[in-house]
Each structure stands twice: as structure tokens, then as C-alpha cells.
A and B are shown apart, each in its own frame.
Chain A
Amino acid sequence: MNISYNWLKEYIDIDLQPAVLAEKLTNAGLETLIVETSPEFFKSIVVGHVVSKEKHPDADKLSVCMIDLGRGEPQQIICGAPNIEVGQNVPVATIGTTFPDGMKIKKAKLRGVESNGMVCSERELDLSQDHSGIMVLDDHAELGMDMKAYLSGNDVRFELDLTPDRSDALGHIGVARDLAALLGTEMRKPLLEIIESNTATSSIISVELDDPKACPRYAARIIKNVKIAESPAWMRQRLQTAGIRSINNVVDAANYVLIETGHPLHTFDLRYIEGGKIIVRKAFDKEKITTLDGKERELDDSVLLICDAKKPVAVAGVMGGENSEVKDDTTDLLLESAYFDPVVVRRGAKKLQLATDASHRFERGTDPNGIPSALDRLATLIVELAGGELTQGQVDAYPHVIEPLEVSLRSERCNAILGTTLDLATMAKILNGLELFHTEKNGIFQVKVPTFRPDITREIDLIEEIGRIFGYNNIPVPQHFSIANKINRKTPDQMREKIIDHLAAVGFNQIYANGLLALDEHPEVFGDEEALLLANPLSKDMASMRSSLLMGMAKVADYNINRRQSDLKLFELGQVSTLDLNSDTGARETSHLGIFISGDLQIKQWSQESVPVDIFHMKGMLRSVFQDLFGLTIAFQSLEHDLFSESLGVYLNEEKIGVLGNLKMINQNLKSVRGVYAEVRISENLGLEQSIQYQKVSIYPAVERDLSIIIDSDIAYEQIDESINKNAGKSLLYSRLYDIYEGKSIASGKKSLTFRLVFQNKTRTLTEKEIDKDFQRILKGLEDAYNATLREAI
């Protein structure tokens, strides 16, 4: 909402710099910005008075004018416009003015005659498209005044960004009230002088409220014989600063009162109101009305209508009907001032997909008891601007009076919440400034909350008012404060941090991907996921929640690979969700870890060869995450999977927690994505405190033996490894596969595996004989089970 500084001064005596005023309001919860209404270069364009005009000696279309700029001697300025005349006030761009297009006004000679400036057209000032002649200024133009001041009427426009609870501040009077409380001064409301004719309003119009819940109050007045005309300059000026287009004196008056009081009002042309009756009722299903914007709208019973005896004439609180609009030839007016239920107006506006100045205010709650005064204010203003006779009295349908709420406020509680030590007098003064009149006994205020403050219904709301006007920034900050003697440690978060740190430490880049995906972007990574669909997606591309991290990861990989960044080591640790009818949200969410590697894991350097990624890197990485961070052993089992060319299931305690493998092409859009991907569920209890117990390091030497065997090619490593460990005895510390060989010197269909076996005993040095025995037992086991033969040294 826009506020005019000059207009505000009607209700409160203030003399603050605009910036100071804006800050005060902002700190009281009315976020205020100063808005520049005209461009900077208007400062060097001043009001000049044309003193004389003569024809240019050498050019027919040019005039040589003497123009008084309000400083020093009148200046000689050449002007080419046909409409310039002696006695006019005109905008003059003085020497040094730079226009936005870069044009600079300099002292110049035009066909041999000197010119000291330029008289401007409206188009040159970017005020309109009019370039038929120079702009002629009206009477309030003062000599030498700059255009900024001329156009703003020396006013300042403030833009208020109000929170939805502050409907009372949606008018100048409400803002003045807050200011009065802040500054500790008084405000004043407009004085009304009502002159009425002898005809009773009630003899012309009656009001019926069909639904007093939706419309608890409706008041009307009638003015006869008005003359529709343009509004006077002051009115147009005010509305312009408030950002409202001037239409005519009657419509402008209604808008003026809206911006002044925050009360939306409506004016009807009385000749179109049939049957002398206003009926406020819900619309019928499929009932139609053409609103002021010329659109025919189909309604249903969520919409409240203002009707005459025969037809709807307005959508209550939203917009008037075209059929009863005030026109140039209107003479008799019906004025409406009403209170509508905020929810009803909101539904109506939503149904019509309309947001108007009126609906904005009604939705937030207007003052049911401010209706008569707003109506009188409008009536007197119209009579002032458009003449006419006001009939006697208001017709005011108000079956159930809405009383102000009584709310008590304990001063002690107020200080306890705010952390202040305000005394009773300070609190009382703040309350009074806000017209929150009260009595006080034993430190407890009984406050009668006026109906223009629908946001205040409880003690805590009054405490906020005290705090707000006292100033949040004035609330003292304690030098010490206590913390709770209890901290709930939530391990999932710490556990995830551990995983993230580990992966980052070994060279992986963490990503945060968009979790909203198209419906066809749910490749079955786990096979059991059913994605959750959005009822109102932003677009088709984001119509569902991710059920795995793969798609987000693939898109990120694709983005990078297409930008020639193809050696990728990416991971994401995030939430995925699947349908779960047992949960109250209908969803089950789990943490997943997705890892993607592509290209070279190690790039080629002068001293080392490149290392291309493969699934064994991924196996090792997952093993490291679970084993090194959490002391958990995971197992892998090969499986068939549509998404991968080679793939493994990942198991923890016999439970499948993930998959890994070489990605096949996911879809046509992600053709570039080739690499190794793994995704595992990270359940919440992985991070249960791992207790580390130191193991004594053996002081006896470890002995290494290499075992090189030849077996059938189709025997899996895992089987051999298992056999070695089974037959090794207690002294085998570990075995490490360090070579696989097929080819020359090995029979076809055979392969050679070479292990380094490391033996050690914790309590004594092993003898050669003992090691030989272990070695032979291992070999025998392999010979018996897998027909292995010892490979001769080459």
C-alpha cells in the first residue's frame, strides 16, 4: 500500500525526515520504503514563465522566447512548438540537464540566435506519448520549482509492505494511529459536517440481509443530483501519490475514503437499482454477473452478491457490476458501506480470480463499527466535490451488533515474555496511543479492543503491541543466559556428517539435486519403490517426489559431462520417499547415499598412469564407508538388474540395502551418462556409538608367503578366498590377491591367481615348519575343492 506524506499530515502533526519516518514505521512492524516517483533528471527541469515570444528572424517555425526561471534575468530560449504562448508556465530543461537517452542541454545557437535551455514536451519527459507541443503546466506550478516537486506536489510516497494481520493499517488513519503511539502525540480524524435534505433515505431504499453471517452489516446512503466531473487537482495529486488512477469525482471520492480509512466503499447509479431494495445473498449456482471490468462471470454459492429486487449489482467486497456503474450522466447515487465476513470475500475473490483493493481489505478484516463514519465521510466528500443533496439518515442493517472484545493483560506476564521491566504507566501510555482503552487494577489491564483491531484477541496479542511500540530493538539483551541441562543427541545427523566428511576427504564432490521429478523419471533402483505424486505440480518435469537418488544424480552427471567435465566423483546423501499407507503422511522417507564415478578415478600424470573407474572402486568405497566408519561388514552378491550391465546387491546383516553397478543408458536424454553408480539406504541406527577397543599390536615378526595357483576360469574369487580362510588356521593374518593372469603359459580355460599370505602369531615367533604346514593345508584345500594346481615359478 502507498501512503502520501502530505496526506498523512492531515491526521497527525509530524515534521520528520521521510527516511526517519520510514525507519520508525519499519521498526514498529509497518515495513516502509520511500518510493521515488520521478526520475533524477527532473531535478534540473524547472518551471519557467513565458514572458515574451517573437518570431525567429531566420526560421519560420521557431520562436525566440524570454522565459523567467525564477532566478536572475529571464533567459532567451528558442522553441519550435506551435503552442507556446506568453503567460504560460512550462517545463524548462536548464543548461546541464542530461536526459536518460544521453542528450545533454548546452548553450547553443539555433540559426544564429542563442538559446539557453529547452522547453519540453510530455514525451520528452517520458510522461506520455504527446509530442504535439510543449507541456503546459497548471496553476500550482511555482516559478523555479523543479519538476520532481511539481509532479509530486512536494510530496513523498511511502510504500508499506504490511503483514496480513494488520488490516487496521491499510489506510492513512491507521498508519497515523501507530505513529501517534510511537511518537507519543495525538492524532485527529476528519471532522464531518453533514447537511441532509428532508427526504428520508429509508423512504427510497431498504436493505435485506439474507445471510447475516456472511454480511453482518450493510449501510447505505443516497445523494441526489450530483454532477459527475473531473476531480480537482489536489484530489488527483493525492490519488496519484497513492498510486491510484483518477476517474471522476465520485469514484475518486470512494477511493479517497478507502485509502484514508481503510474501509472499502462502493457507489451505485441509483437509477439502475430496481425495486428500491438492496438484498445481500449468496449467488445461485451458475448465476451470472458482468463485473466492472467488462467480464461476464459465472458464480456459485461460494460467492456473496449485492442485488436489487431483480438482479445482482455487485460481487460483495470484490467488484461492482457493470449494470449499476456510475457514468458521466449519473445524477443519483447509492452509497454502500458494509462489513463482510473475511472468509466469504476470500472465497468469492478466489472463485472470480480477482484481487482488488476492496477484497484485499475485506479479506483481512475491516471494522464493522467504523461503517457509519466511513459512509458519512464518503457522503460529505462527494457533496463537496460533486454537489447534490444528501437524503436524511443512513439505512443501516446490523442485526447483531459486534461488540469490542474485552481482553485482560497482566503487566507481570508482559514483562516476563518480553524480558523487560516496563512500568504500568509506560504500558498504559502505549495502549492509549493505540486506542486500546482500558482500566487497570493490581497490575492487570482490562482492555476494550476496538473492532478495527481484529488481530487482537488474546493477552499475548496485547503483549506484542506493547513490545512493538516500545520497540523490539529497545528490549534489553541479557548479558548471560541459561541453557537447558539436557541435550538430546540425535545420531542420524552426526552419522550422516561422518559419511559426508569421509567421501569429501577421499576426493568426492557432494551434490544437492532437485528432488522433484517427472512421472517417467523413476527408474527402479530398488524395485519396491512407488513414487509419490504431486496434486499440483509446478510443471510436468516436477510432478513427483524422488524415490531414489539416481535420476537427480544422472542429470547432474549429464550436465557436467556435456560441459566436458567427465571425470566425476559425485555423491549425494538425501531423503527419498515412497508410498506407505501405514504412515499418517502416506509416505515413508529414508536417507539414501548415492555415489557416481565416471571417466578416470585418477587422471594421468607424468609419474603415474590414469586409473579408469570400475565397479571394484565402488565396492571398495562402500566397504570403506561401512567398515571404516561404523565397523560394519557388508556383503555383495551379483544380481541381474535392468539398469546395470554388471551389478551387485549390497547386503548388511543379510538385508539388502543397496545396489551398485555399471550404468546402462538410462534414457535418450541422458545418453552421455556412463559410469559406475551405487545407492544404499542409510538406516538411522548405523551410527550407534561404535566403541573402539585397542588391540595389542603383535611384537613377533609377520612372515609373507606368495601362493600362486592355477584354476578353472569360471571359479569365482570369493570361493577361493573362502577356502583359503577356512583352511588357513589361526596364524594367517590376512591374504591379499595381487595378481590375476590368463594367457600365455596358462592353459586356455584356466587362470592364475596370486595371493600374498601374511602369517603372524600374537604370542611367539612362527617357525618355518609351522608356516609350511599352514601353507600346505591351504593348498591342499584348494586342490581338493577346486582342482587347483600350484603354478611353477616362471
Chain B
Amino acid sequence: MSLFKKVDELRSEFKQALASSPALSDLERIRQEYLGRKGILNDLFKKIREVEADRRGEFGELINQLKLDIHDHIEERINEHQAEAKATSSVDVTLPGVRYERGTLHPIESTLRDFKQIFHRLGFAVAEGPEIETQWRNFDALNFPPEHPARDMQDTFFLMNESVLRTHTSPVQVRIMLEETPPIRSIMPGRVYRNEAIDAGHYCLFHQVEGLYVDEHVTMGELKATLELFCREYFGQNVKLRFRPSFFPFTEPSSEMDVSCFLCGGKGCKVCKQTGWLEIGGCGMVDPNVFKAVNIDSEKYTGYAFGMGIERIAMMKYGITDIRLLFENDVRFLKQF
């Protein structure tokens, strides 16, 4: 076998030796084996004289290159081992991760988002109106007679100029019915004000979501279906809904809606005052007098409307027992949502 071929063989043998990912001690052994004083490479150098004179230079270069390559490869592997060792030994990986603080949506916002999302799937647009309203839009157009108790100073904030801070989001109904033609299908979220003493259950302002659907052939059965679907989506599939006749000037027939208490499952507890039911809002069929005020033909069109208090539902959902917490905005409170 020619010595040239021997060099090629040595190169591939060395590659194989490294291919098995030798440990640090093995690398030392391999180094001795190839590069040691009595190593293979030195043996080879001694055989240089056996090569024909005119190819000795070529052969010398070849084994020199092999020697350098072997050296580099072994060094590289040793470095790798050392880096690995360093990584595993000197860094305390139990140190805490760098903290990324996330922000939060206010619970009123997130509750409202949930509402919007569900109603959006049911084809409701979102409409808005101002917080300061004329008495006409807040009361008259909504069929509140001039002497209605709801207009009392006890309940309504008046501005110096006779405008009112809207007491409900229903004036937005009036606005969109005047602006648009049926079919109208919108929810109307917003801030409303009541002139009530502030305590754990009451605040001078809160938020409502109003819903309105005006079209031909809208029925109370459909109103029930829509709200049942909403309640199942929001409160859970097993929730039961109850409709109780009630009175609102702007709907006729009018109804309160209750959901079975999701805390006790309807058996009766402190939160539902032993009744098994939680009141979540009011609803009904749009009163013909409202249609008259906004120039919609109540013989051709019918409609339903509903309204819910966001704080009330957020409080039930998150177990908040004092409405003032929602407006205090303690960051330790906010960061829980």
C-alpha cells in the first residue's frame, strides 16, 4: 500500500473516531494516539524517506495538513466540551425569568367585550350616543309621561340648561330609529347616571347594554330565543331563564329577565336571596308610542328591546360585592382581571 493511500485512510479513521462524540478523556487519548511523541503522525513523518524523492515534498505537505486538521478538530471538540461544562456549572438556572408585566382590561370593559362578541355573532351592530341628552330623547320619545316619577329630581341629574345625564341607554334607540330605516339591529352600550346615594350596591353612574331589533314580523318569542341564546353563551349551557311581566314605558309587553343563580344552581343562596334567581335586566316589545315618536309605522314593523346592567353582571360573575371597587381602580384589584 502506498503511503499516500495510508494518509487518506488515517484521515477517515480519525473522522470515525470523532464521529462517536468522544468524551473529553477520550479526546485526550485520541490526541496522544495521533499527535503524541510516539503517535501515528510522528511515525508517518519518519517514513518520509520511503517516498520517492520527487514526491517527498508533496507527501510532507499532505501529512502536515493532516496534522493541522487533526489538531484543529480536537481543539474544537475540546472547546465545545469546555463551553458545555461552563454552561452547566457556573449559571444558576434557577434564577427567575425576566418579568414581563401584562396590562389589563377593566372588568367593565371585559364584560362588555363578552357581550359585544356574543351579540355580534347574532348580527347586532354597535351604536352609541352621548351621555348628555335632551329630555325629549331620554323621556318623551320613550313614552314617559310628563309627570312620570322617573323624571323626579331624586333619580335624574339635570344640567343647568334642562338637559339630563341620560338615565339609561334607551335614548340611543331613539337616535338610531330616527337616523336609520328598519331593519335595525344594534346593541348600544354606554355610561348612564342615576342620582342615588352611593353605597355597596349603588353608584351615581354605571354602564348598560341596550339591544334593539326592529323589522317586520319580530315577535316576543324571538326576543326570548335571542336572550336565551345569549344567556347560555354567557352564563353557561345549563342556565335557565325566567321572564316576569313588568313595566317600562317604552316597551309593551314588558318583562324582567332572571337567570337561575349560577352560584347555587337555583337552590337558593345568599347571592340570589334564597330565590334561586338573579335579575339581569329588562326587555319587551317596542311600544307603539315609541315608534310614533320616531316615525316608524308600528303596523308594518314590530320590534323588541332589552337592557342589562354591566356592573351588576360583572359583579355577579367575578364575585364582587361592592360596586365602588369598580370605580376606585386600585391596581391590585385591576391586575386580577
Binding between chains A and B: yes
Chain B residues whose C-beta falls within 8 Å of the C-beta of A664 in the assembled complex: none
In chain B, positions 234-266 with a C-beta closer than 8 Å to chain A are: 242-247, 252-255
User: Are the CB atoms of B147 and A510 closer together than 8 Å?
Assistant: no
Tell me, in angstroms, the Cα distance from A143 to B224 when the chains sit together: 53
**B61 CB-CB contact with A under 8 Å:** no
User: Are the CB atoms of B158 and A534 closer together than 8 Å?
Assistant: yes
Chain B residues whose C-beta falls within 8 Å of the C-beta of A497 in the assembled complex: 113
- Decide: A575 near B130, CB < 8 A? Known: A504-B103, A512-B106, A563-B330: yes
Q: Which of A115-123, A223-231, A323-331, A580-588 contacts B (4 or more CB under 8 A)?
A: A580-588
- Decide: A418 near B220, CB < 8 A? Known: A481-B225, A512-B329, A534-B157: yes
User: Are the CB atoms of B204 and A516 closer together than 8 Å?
Assistant: yes
**A490 CB-CB contact with B under 8 Å:** yes
Report the minimum CB–CB distance from B192 to chain A (whole Å): 11
**A743 CB-CB contact with B under 8 Å:** no
User: Are the CB atoms of B149 and A484 closer together than 8 Å?
Assistant: no
User: Are the CB atoms of B221 and A419 closer together than 8 Å?
Assistant: yes
- Can you list 16 A-B contacts (CB < 8 A)? A27-B242, A165-B247, A419-B220, A460-B252, A467-B253, A475-B224, A479-B225, A488-B186, A509-B329, A511-B106, A515-B131, A542-B204, A545-B131, A565-B330, A565-B332, A589-B131
Tell me, in angstroms, the Cα distance from A342 to B147 when the chains sit together: 9
**B211 CB-CB contact with A under 8 Å:** no
In chain B, positions 52-73 with a C-beta closer than 8 Å to chain A are: none
Report the minimum CB–CB distance from B245 to chain A (whole Å): 3
Chain B residues whose C-beta falls within 8 Å of the C-beta of A184 in the assembled complex: none
**B335 CB-CB contact with A under 8 Å:** yes
Q: Which of A81-89, A604-612, A636-644 contacts B (4 or more CB under 8 A)?
A: A604-612
**A468 CB-CB contact with B under 8 Å:** yes
User: Are the CB atoms of A512 and B327 closer together than 8 Å?
Assistant: yes
Chain A residues whose C-beta falls within 8 Å of the C-beta of B247 in the assembled complex: 29, 163-166
Tell me, in angstroms, the Cα distance from A283 to B116 when the chains sit together: 55
Between A33, A513, A560, the greatest number of chain B beta carbons within 10 A of the residue's beta carbon is seen for A560
User: Are the CB atoms of A419 and B123 closer together than 8 Å?
Assistant: no
Chain B 176-205 per-residue mask, 1 if CB under 8 angstroms from chain A, else 0: 000010011110000101011110000111
Tell me, in angstroms, the Cα distance from A497 to B120 when the chains sit together: 14
User: Are the CB atoms of A538 and B198 closer together than 8 Å?
Assistant: yes
- CB nearest neighbor in B for A535: B158
**A536 CB-CB contact with B under 8 Å:** yes
Between A27, A468, A475, the greatest number of chain B beta carbons within 10 A of the residue's beta carbon is seen for A475
**B269 CB-CB contact with A under 8 Å:** no
User: Are the CB atoms of B331 and A568 closer together than 8 Å?
Assistant: yes
User: Are the CB atoms of B221 and A29 closer together than 8 Å?
Assistant: no
- Decide: A460 near B244, CB < 8 A? Known: A535-B159, A606-B95: no
In chain A, positions 520-561 with a C-beta closer than 8 Å to chain B are: 532-538, 542, 545, 556, 559-560
In the complex, besides A468-B245, A509-B329, A534-B157, 14 extra interface pairs with C-beta distance below 8 angstroms are A165-B247, A342-B147, A420-B221, A467-B220, A475-B220, A475-B243, A478-B221, A482-B215, A487-B124, A488-B186, A490-B128, A505-B102, A538-B157, A585-B132
**B287 CB-CB contact with A under 8 Å:** yes
Tell me, in angstroms, the Cα distance from A671 to B332 when the chains sit together: 21
Chain A residues whose C-beta falls within 8 Å of the C-beta of B309 in the assembled complex: none
**A346 CB-CB contact with B under 8 Å:** yes
User: Are the CB atoms of A488 and B180 closer together than 8 Å?
Assistant: yes
**A680 CB-CB contact with B under 8 Å:** no
- CB nearest neighbor in B for A480: B225
**A570 CB-CB contact with B under 8 Å:** yes
Chain B 118-136 per-residue mask, 1 if CB under 8 angstroms from chain A, else 0: 0000111111101111100
- Decide: A28 near B242, CB < 8 A? Known: A478-B222, A511-B106, A587-B159: no
User: Are the CB atoms of B126 and A493 closer together than 8 Å?
Assistant: yes
Tell me, in angstroms, the Cα distance from A166 to B245 when the chains sit together: 11
User: Are the CB atoms of B147 and A346 closer together than 8 Å?
Assistant: yes
**A646 CB-CB contact with B under 8 Å:** no
**B167 CB-CB contact with A under 8 Å:** no
User: Are the CB atoms of B133 and A585 closer together than 8 Å?
Assistant: yes
**B217 CB-CB contact with A under 8 Å:** yes
User: Are the CB atoms of B219 and A585 closer together than 8 Å?
Assistant: no
Chain B residues whose C-beta falls within 8 Å of the C-beta of A104 in the assembled complex: none
Tell me, in angstroms, the Cα distance from A26 to B275 when the chains sit together: 12
**A485 CB-CB contact with B under 8 Å:** yes
- CB nearest neighbor in A for B219: A419
- CB nearest neighbor in B for A364: B149
- Decide: A504 near B329, CB < 8 A? Known: A464-B254, A468-B253, A534-B157: no
User: Are the CB atoms of A463 and B123 closer together than 8 Å?
Assistant: no
User: Are the CB atoms of A478 and B126 closer together than 8 Å?
Assistant: no
For B, the interface residue count at a CB cutoff of 8 angstroms equals: 85
- CB nearest neighbor in B for A516: B204
- CB nearest neighbor in A for B206: A512
Tell me, in angstroms, the Cα distance from A584 to B109 when the chains sit together: 29
Per a CB cutoff under 8 Å, which of B125, B158, B219 touches A417?
Answer: B219
**B85 CB-CB contact with A under 8 Å:** no
**A741 CB-CB contact with B under 8 Å:** no
**B104 CB-CB contact with A under 8 Å:** yes
- CB nearest neighbor in B for A555: B329
Tell me, in angstroms, the Cα distance from A509 to B334 when the chains sit together: 7
Chain A 61-97 per-residue mask, 1 if CB under 8 angstroms from chain B, else 0: 0000000000000000000000000000000000000
- CB nearest neighbor in B for A33: B275
User: Are the CB atoms of A559 and B328 closer together than 8 Å?
Assistant: yes
Chain A residues whose C-beta falls within 8 Å of the C-beta of B217 in the assembled complex: 416
- CB nearest neighbor in A for B298: A460
Per a CB cutoff under 8 Å, which of A488, A536, A574, A607 touches B153?
Answer: A536
Per a CB cutoff under 8 Å, which of A33, A484, A494 touches B183?
Answer: A484
User: Are the CB atoms of A533 and B204 closer together than 8 Å?
Assistant: no
Tell me, in angstroms, the Cα distance from A484 to B163 when the chains sit together: 34
Report the minimum CB–CB distance from A643 to chain B (whole Å): 21
Report the minimum CB–CB distance from A388 to chain B (whole Å): 40
**A514 CB-CB contact with B under 8 Å:** yes
Tell me, in angstroms, the Cα distance from A534 to B335 when the chains sit together: 34
**B302 CB-CB contact with A under 8 Å:** yes
Chain A residues whose C-beta falls within 8 Å of the C-beta of B195 in the assembled complex: 536, 538
Tell me, in angstroms, the Cα distance from A511 to B107 when the chains sit together: 9
User: Are the CB atoms of A484 and B153 closer together than 8 Å?
Assistant: no
**B1 CB-CB contact with A under 8 Å:** no
Tell me, in angstroms, the Cα distance from A27 to B149 when the chains sit together: 25
- Decide: A509 near B331, CB < 8 A? Known: A418-B221, A475-B220: yes
User: Are the CB atoms of A417 and B220 closer together than 8 Å?
Assistant: yes
User: Are the CB atoms of A461 and B134 closer together than 8 Å?
Assistant: no
Per a CB cutoff under 8 Å, which of B132, B252, B330 touches A461?
Answer: B252
**A472 CB-CB contact with B under 8 Å:** yes
Between A419, A485, A493, the greatest number of chain B beta carbons within 10 A of the residue's beta carbon is seen for A419
Chain B residues whose C-beta falls within 8 Å of the C-beta of A511 in the assembled complex: 106, 329, 334
User: Are the CB atoms of A478 and B331 closer together than 8 Å?
Assistant: no
Tell me, in angstroms, the Cα distance from A493 to B245 when the chains sit together: 33
User: Are the CB atoms of A473 and B225 closer together than 8 Å?
Assistant: no
User: Are the CB atoms of B242 and A484 closer together than 8 Å?
Assistant: no
- CB nearest neighbor in A for B335: A509
**B48 CB-CB contact with A under 8 Å:** no
User: Are the CB atoms of A505 and B103 closer together than 8 Å?
Assistant: yes
User: Are the CB atoms of B103 and A489 closer together than 8 Å?
Assistant: no
- Decide: A537 near B157, CB < 8 A? Known: A486-B183, A559-B330: yes
- CB nearest neighbor in A for B157: A534
**B108 CB-CB contact with A under 8 Å:** yes
User: Are the CB atoms of B160 and A489 closer together than 8 Å?
Assistant: no
User: Are the CB atoms of B205 and A464 closer together than 8 Å?
Assistant: no
Chain A residues whose C-beta falls within 8 Å of the C-beta of B321 in the assembled complex: none
Tell me, in angstroms, the Cα distance from A163 to B246 when the chains sit together: 6
**A774 CB-CB contact with B under 8 Å:** no
User: Are the CB atoms of A484 and B213 closer together than 8 Å?
Assistant: yes
User: Are the CB atoms of B95 and A488 closer together than 8 Å?
Assistant: no
**B105 CB-CB contact with A under 8 Å:** yes
User: Are the CB atoms of A419 and B243 closer together than 8 Å?
Assistant: no
Tell me, in angstroms, the Cα distance from A500 to B287 when the chains sit together: 37
Per a CB cutoff under 8 Å, which of B127, B224, B329 touches A513?
Answer: B329
**B140 CB-CB contact with A under 8 Å:** no
Chain A residues whose C-beta falls within 8 Å of the C-beta of B302 in the assembled complex: 416-417
**A577 CB-CB contact with B under 8 Å:** yes
